[in-house]
Amino acid sequence: MTEFHVDTTASGIGVVRPEGRLNMVAARQLKSVLADLVAGGTHRIVVDLADTSFIDSSGLGALIGGVKSTRQQGGDLRIARPTEAVLTVLDLTNLTKILRPRDTVDGAFDD
């Protein structure tokens, strides 16, 4: 089972840390977590994938949905520290162009 840890930085950036597999079941939870953050006024979100061992199309869909909803509110969703397994899927699907992985959570919005 995938666990989600949610924090907000002092600068108002939401940080979501999924631990485990981002599959069809966990993707629903991720969508809900992201939607709650956006509805609560957090429009800049970093998804820290350092503890995510696997991602499938449902997990990718949840991330892309998060990008769309944050951008509609004038913000953005960034990913940080993807594992090799996750990075491989992102590369194979060419989603690194949209989700552009960051090396650190703290530096995800430093551009």
50-61 pLDDT per residue, tens: 999 999 999 999
CATH superfamily of domain region 3-99: STAS domain (3.30.750.24)
Question: Which structure tokens are listed for 65?
Answer: 């949905």
78 φψ region: left (φ > 0), alpha (ψ -120 to 50), beta (else): beta
Residue with tokens 């069809």: 24
9-34 pLDDT per residue, tens: 999 999 999 999 999 999 999 999 99
Q: What is the pTM of this model?
A: 0.96
Give domain limits for the chain.
3-99
Question: Which structure tokens are listed for 108?
Answer: 């995800």
Per-residue confidence (pLDDT) for residue 86, from 0 to 100 = 97
Rounded to the nearest 5°, which phi and psi values hold at 57? -60, -30
45-103 pLDDT per residue, tens: 999 999 999 999 999 999 999 999 999 999 999 999 999 999 999 999 999 999 999 99
Per-residue confidence (pLDDT) for residue 111, from 0 to 100 = 79
